[in-house]
Every structure is written in structure tokens, then in C-alpha cells.
Structure 1
Amino acid sequence: MKIFLLLGAVNAFLAVALGAFGAHGLEGKIPEKYLETWKTGVNYQMFHTLGLFVVAFLADKLPNVGLVTSAGWVMLAGIILFSGSLYVLSITQVKILGAITPFGGIAFLAAWLILGYVAVKYL
């Protein structure tokens, strides 16, 4: 499905841009702890961007399996919640924002479980 290929490309671009911003724009401006938090957000965004490309491939191969696209949307939600909350936490240093991050992690886990189920059932 083209949408997940596009979402993968956009998220890959953003992960690279945000990684560069963290390395060059934030270094020395925020505490090292929060710079590491930023890097964690970038890493998880890129890993799950690759997952969006997997979803695009599987959606093309299994066009009648709605679970594939569901996994993609759940993965995108995970990127927004997990990585997005870590980016905002790093910049604002408002610790309560860290409470959002686990919801993104749960979304990541759910997306991978859905893809695993699809693999077992349909491939």
C-alpha cells in the first residue's frame, strides 16, 4: 500500500533530520541525560520506520488482509507516542511527559504481534 511506503519515507527523513538536530543542535544545550533520551527516540523511530516498509511490502503482497494495515497504523501511533513523547520530554524536561512513552511501546509491541500473526496465518 502506497500510504505506508510514503509514511516510511517521511519517517525515515524525519529520523535522520531529528538525529542530526540532536547531535548538532542540542549538544551542549540540554543535559546529557536528555540528549540520550532524544537519541532513544530517534533510534526507535528509525527501527519502526523499517517496520512501516515491511507493512508496505506485506500490504502489497496480501491486499485482502486488513490486519496488515492495522499493524501499520498501530506502528505509526507507536512512533508518535513513543518517539514524539521522548522528543518533547528532552526539549521541555517536563518529566510527566515520560508517562506517555509506555503507550507508544505497547503500540510497537501490538504492531509486531499483529505482523507475527499475519505471517503465521497468511504467509
Structure 2
Amino acid sequence: MSDLYFTIGCCSMCSTLLFSTYGYHGGLAYDQQLKWDIAVKFQQFGSIPLLLAYKKKTPYPGGLAIAGTVLFCLPLYYSVLSEDTKFNKLMPYGGFAMMASWIALGFLS
């Protein structure tokens, strides 16, 4: 499982470069660019625990980082592209999952 977390973390970090490029060159309005940039940065913050979690004996940091990225970043990307905010209510849970991934990384090693 730890190798899988590392692979997912690398792919996630790579995708932030692609998403960032789209955010700046994709013709988004300024306010949409700001939201897109927040999603990219939080995806990067969620990728780092995955890159570090592969050395840990517990699956919690990696699992929480994946959950945080999915629940925070994907609704934000979706709302920017579609202007539909129905999934934004999931974002606080994603933020808490990201925070919990860092706590788990520090204490469950």
C-alpha cells in the first residue's frame, strides 16, 4: 500500500502542474483563476503527505490525504468549470481530512 501512496502522490503532484498551467492559460476569469489556484495549492498540500507516507507503517496519513484532496479540491475544480456549487458543501470535510493527514503523519509513525 505504501508504494501505491507514493505513486498516487507523484501523479497528483504532476497533475497540479498541468492544472496550474490550465488555470493561467485556459482563459478563466480572474475570480475563477483565484479559486482554481486555491484548489491547485491544496492539492499540492495533500500530495506531500502521500509522498512522505510511503515510509510509514500506518495507512492513515495517505488515506486521509487522498480523502482530503478528493473532498476539497475536486468540488472546487468542478465549481470553477461548471459554475455549479452543489458539491462545495464537501469542502470543509476535505479540509479537515487534510489536516488530519498531517496529524496522523506526525503522531502515527
TM-score of the superposition, structure 1-length normalised?
A: 0.80
Q: Which has the higher helix share?
A: 1
Contact 2:5 2:51 in 1 (8 A): yes
Q: Which residue of 1 aligns with 2:92?
A: 102
Alignment of 1:18-97 (within 5 A): 18-25=19-26, 27=27, 30-56=28-54, 58-59=55-56, 65-66=57-58, 69-97=59-87
* 2: CA distance, partners of 1:35 / 1:96: 19
Give unmatched runs, 5+ long, in structure 2.
Answer: none
Contact 1:83 1:101 in 2 (8 A): yes
* 2: CA distance, partners of 1:96 / 1:77: 18
Shift of 1:13: 1.3
* 2: CA distance, partners of 1:22 / 1:2: 30
The count of aligned residue pairs is 108
Shift of 1:31: 3.1
* 2: CA distance, partners of 1:51 / 1:23: 26
Identity within the alignment, %: 22
Q: Max radius of gyration: which structure?
A: 1
Counterpart amino acid of residue 114 in structure 1 = A
Shift of 1:51: 1.6
**Which SS does the other structure have where 1:95 is aligned?**
coil
Counterpart amino acid of residue 5 in structure 1 = F
Shift of 1:97: 2.6
**Which SS does the other structure have where 1:96 is aligned?**
coil
Give unmatched runs, 5+ long, in structure 1.
Answer: 60-64
Shift of 1:94: 1.5
- The Cα RMSD (Å) is 1.4
Q: Which residue of 1 aligns with 2:5?
A: 4
Counterpart amino acid of residue 90 in structure 1 = V
**Which SS does the other structure have where 1:5 is aligned?**
helix
TM-score of the superposition, structure 2-length normalised?
A: 0.89
Superposition misfits of 4+ residues, deviation over 6 angstroms: none
* 1: CA distance, partners of 2:90 / 2:32: 16
